[in-house]
Every structure is written in C-alpha cells, then in structure tokens.
C-alpha cells in the first residue's frame, strides 16, 4: 500500500511540475481553473500508478516503456477530453512538449536510479573493506 501511495505522490510531483513548466513556455495566455488543476493532479496520479508496469518481471524494459508511453498518451488525451485542461491538444506544439517532457522525465528518473545504485554499491564496497 505504501508503494502505491508513493507512486501516486511521485506521479503528482512530476505531473504538476511538468504542467507548470509547459505553461511557462506556452505562447498563449490561458485561464487555469480548479477543474484544470484537479484534472492534472488525477491524471498525474494515474501516470504514477502506471509506473508499476516496470515491476512486472515478465516484461522487458523496452516493452514496459512502450506500454507506459502509450498509457500516458491515453491518460493525457482522456484528461483533455474530460476537462479541456490542455487547451489545444491538437496543436503540434502540445505534442512536441509532451514528447520532450516524457523524455526529460525519463532521463531524470534514470539518472536518479543510477545515483541510488552508485550509492548502494559504494556503501557495500565500504562495508566489505572493513
């Protein structure tokens, strides 16, 4: 249960930050409503839950990435259809931002994971030399 809660929170962290940064670089001025905020938070929580796909041992990493990307795409489209939060989902700029954001988040997660592995390995090496 704790793992699921942490995935939801992490998804909301990445999603809300990404949404705010996308608004920052957006060329259009839009009004953000409570419905927009709730939509982004719920969508981000669902995307966070979708990361549980990476814990399925039967799936290759590539398959998990593809499923996660397609699931994220579906959640973004569904959220926009329900709330209109993205104000221009048919716009090419939106999809460039989507793909860029997905790649940047993936890179950040990979760097974070590698940093954690390096710390663990360093601690194990230090413990072995004692």
Residue 92 clears pLDDT 90, i.e. is over it? no
Count the domains in the chain: 1
Range of the domain at 8: 2-129
Kindly state the average pLDDT of the residues 90-117: 89
Q: What is the pTM of this model?
A: 0.83
pLDDT per residue as tens digits for the range 58-67: 999 999 999 9
Question: Band of the pLDDT at 120, cuts 50, 70, 90?
Answer: very high
Mean pLDDT of the chain, nearest integer: 90
pLDDT of residue 129: 81
H, E, C per residue of 57-107: CCCCHHHHHHHHHHHHHHHHHHHHHHHCCCCCCCCHHHHHHHHHHHHHHHH
pLDDT of residue 31: 85
pLDDT of residue 128: 87
Question: Band of the pLDDT at 22, cuts 50, 70, 90?
Answer: confident
């Amino acid at each position: 249960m704790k793992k699921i809660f942490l995935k939801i929170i992490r998804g909301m962290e990445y999603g809300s930050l990404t949404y705010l940064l996308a608004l920052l670089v957006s060329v259009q001025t839009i009004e953000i409503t409570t419905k927009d905020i709730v939509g982004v938070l719920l969508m981000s929580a669902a995307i966070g839950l979708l990361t549980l796909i990476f814990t399925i041992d039967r799936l290759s990493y590539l398959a998990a990435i593809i499923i996660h990307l397609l699931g994220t795409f579906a959640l973004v489209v569904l959220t926009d259809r329900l709330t209109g939060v993205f104000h221009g989902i048919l716009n090419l700029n939106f999809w460039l931002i989507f793909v860029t954001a997905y790649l940047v988040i993936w890179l950040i997660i990979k760097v974070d994971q590698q940093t954690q592995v390096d710390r663990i390995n360093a601690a194990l090496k230090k413990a072995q030399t004692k």
